[in-house]
Amino acid sequence: MNEKVGTVFSIAKDDRPVPGCTISREIHGGKNYIAYYSLARGTDISPEIYPYHKLIMVADGDVRVYGPELEEKVLRTGESIVAPVGTPVGVSSQEGGVYTETAIGGEDIMNEVIKAGEVFKLADLVPYQEGKIVNMDVVHNDRMKFVVMALDKGTGLSEHSAPGEALIFALDGQGIIGYEGEEHEIKAGENFHFAKGGLHYVKATEKFKMGLLLTLE
């Protein structure tokens, strides 16, 4: 991934809209590309037909998904949608917005609780349970996995390394990420990037929910 490693950052703050412009920045290529988009107030990406779904996760502001055959859906900070495939889909913003877009191919396995075209919050997909960690695979294939986790206070993931790179989305609460011998506090709305093979662990200092986007390409 073309993203900073081993430090807490914010997609929303690092990719602020520029007046009158739409901006895209691809951080991972391939069939399951990952890109950040910044839309200034009143800008628009006109509808186009894609042969794959797109998972849109709003980091800040408002994002409107629309099309001639699609009822307009308004997403705000913390909300997501899987854009339908095979029909024109456009994206616009009235007040300005920042979002992450990940391509989901037809061969990818998507959790049945996710319905294309419906707005949802990743943080709402998994409940907290006392003394437990609750996981849900949102989508996966042999090249990528996106999972959401709810960690009760005091729980955590022991130190390990991943077979690929990982992008963390802190969704609720706060926790600590240990990475290569250093601890980093992270809270809702912030992000973290693990390099392939980087030793890391996660501790929930309070109740903590996160999304983890793992690439294996």
Domain finish residue from 93, 121, 149: 121
Burial tier of 57 (Cβ tally within 10 Å: 0-12, 13-18, 19+): buried
User: Does 2 fall in a domain?
Assistant: no
Nearest in space to 48 (alpha carbons), one of 94, 83, 24? 83
Q: Show the domain range for 177.
A: 123-215
Q: Which residues of the chain have pLDDT under 50?
A: none
Q: Are residues 146 and 188 in the same domain?
A: yes
CATH of the domain at 191: 2.60.120.10
pLDDT of residue 18: 98
Residue at 157 is within a domain: yes
Same domain, 37 and 89: yes
Tokens (6 digits) for 75: 């997403």
C-alpha 86/C-alpha 31 separation (Å) is: 17
Domain co-membership, 53 together with 129: no
Tell me, what's the pLDDT at 58?
Answer: 98
Q: Kindly state whether residues 23 and 117 are assigned to the same domain.
A: yes
